Structure 1
Amino acid sequence: MRSWGGGVYATAHLTGEFVLRSGQVAAEYFDKYRFEADPLLLDAIAAAMVPLVQAETEVLAGLELGGIPVVTALGRRTGLPCAFVRKQAKPYGTRRLAEGAQTAGRRVTVVEDVITTGGQVVLSTEQLRAQGAQITDVLCVINRNQGTPESLTDAGLTLQALFTAEDLAQYATTAS
């Protein structure tokens, strides 16, 4: 395990009662904005994610809002162009779902911060695929599960996570 994983845990781990996007209630929560707002920690995360990026990737696509800082840092490390994916296309201006790099006809890897059920990843992937993106791979910083959520598998997606919640739990005693 990466020695700075304790920094991710200490920075982002919260306890209490939290309602997740999926509607599930959790007693622990990883506040992604805390590790994304720490430039040194975010840079270490991005550096560690570089080997997870498949060689065929042409564009990294970060999902609004938490995936945007991660994909930007990862793009700086890989040199790959980035797309910033909205939850829905904006109704004004360019009216685009994805800003930045063009995704149509290109091999895209979706980048997210924390995944529980993968619901938003699946929705965004479907929208990007409808616009011509070729997507099979998803990267995240923290997968709250031990395996890939079924929704991602059903959508033909492969998930690689830097950490699972269990990986980070080993730091619970050292962070107290």
Structure 2
Amino acid sequence: MDFVKALIDNKLLLTGSFVLTSGKISPYYLDLRRLSNYYDVFSDTVNKAIDKIKKIEFDMVIGIATGGVPFASFIACRIGKPLGYIRMERKGYGTDKILEADVKGKRIVLVDDVATTGGSLSKAVEAITSEGGRVVASLVIVDREEGAEKKLAEQGVQLISVYKIREILEYLLNSNLISENDKNNIREYLVKNIG
């Protein structure tokens, strides 16, 4: 899979021991904030994402800072939709806004780079809803398949991903791209966290 090779070659998928935003310890880390540095793979990912949402009716794209903003920007530009973004914390100065967009009465596709437990996405859905917008779908590059889909479903929001972590890791486990020790740690993590 070209996407996985690009991630490994560009050190966007790392193996080892990493603390995630959710607090979990993971044997791999997806550093997709730099994916936009690699135009060909990023452009291909954007095109695949657009294909995934082409049947959804929506008015605006909102990216979650920071990882979702470049992804959301490319998508909005290519499909000709307005763009906004949302912070996870108030900036503490100026207007002190979390949401940089007028979403009232608008149908939103919420965009981020990676979904794990869904905490950031869920918080963003609440913020958009409180401003009068309606999130009709959430789109990520990779779903780590650790609860985000279920959490968003409870809010009536569909999670759409360009890639599922299972397909990425299965490819990796059947390749010579990582060590046997890393493969064993990933297999163990898959069994415990993804099932």
- What TM-score does the superposition give when structure 1 sets the normalisation length? 0.88
Could you tell me how far apart the structure 2 residues matched to 1:115 and 1:151 are? 11
Could you tell me how far apart the structure 2 residues matched to 1:144 and 1:4 are? 15
Aligned counterpart, 2:83 = 82
Aligned counterpart, 2:182 = none
Q: How many residues align?
A: 174
Task: For 1:143, give the aligned amino acid.
Answer: D
Structure 1 regions of 5+ residues with no counterpart? none
The answer to whether the Cα contact below 8 Å between 1:113 and 1:142 also exists between their aligned partners in 2 is: yes
Instruction: State the shift of 1:3 in Å.
Output: 4.4
Could you tell me how far apart the structure 1 residues matched to 2:78 and 2:64 are? 18
Q: How much is the aligned-residue C-alpha RMSD, in angstroms?
A: 2.0
Could you tell me how far apart the structure 2 residues matched to 1:106 and 1:36 are? 27
Structure 1 or 2, whichever has the larger Rg, is 2
The answer to whether the Cα contact below 8 Å between 1:57 and 1:109 also exists between their aligned partners in 2 is: yes
Task: For 2:150, give the aligned amino acid.
Answer: E
Instruction: State the shift of 1:94 in Å.
Output: 3.4
Instruction: State the shift of 1:147 in Å.
Output: 7.3
Could you tell me how far apart the structure 1 residues matched to 2:45 and 2:128 are? 25
Task: Provide, for residues 47-68 of structure 1, a one-character-per-residue CA deviation record: whole Å limited to 9, x for no partner.
Answer: 1111222431110110010000
- What TM-score does the superposition give when structure 2 sets the normalisation length? 0.80
Question: Which structure carries more helix by proportion?
Answer: 2
**CA 43–28 in structure 1, closer or farther in 2 if over 3 Å, else same:** same
Instruction: State the shift of 1:151 in Å.
Output: 1.4
Task: Provide, for residues 69-116 of structure 1, a one-character-per-residue CA deviation record: whole Å limited to 9, x for no partner.
Answer: 1101111221111111111343332333222x4211100010010000
How many percent identity over aligned positions?
Answer: 25
The answer to whether the Cα contact below 8 Å between 1:10 and 1:175 also exists between their aligned partners in 2 is: no
The answer to whether the Cα contact below 8 Å between 2:142 and 2:163 also exists between their aligned partners in 1 is: yes
The answer to whether the Cα contact below 8 Å between 2:116 and 2:148 also exists between their aligned partners in 1 is: no
Aligned counterpart, 1:44 = 44
Task: For 2:169, give the aligned amino acid.
Answer: A
Instruction: State the shift of 1:146 in Å.
Output: 7.4
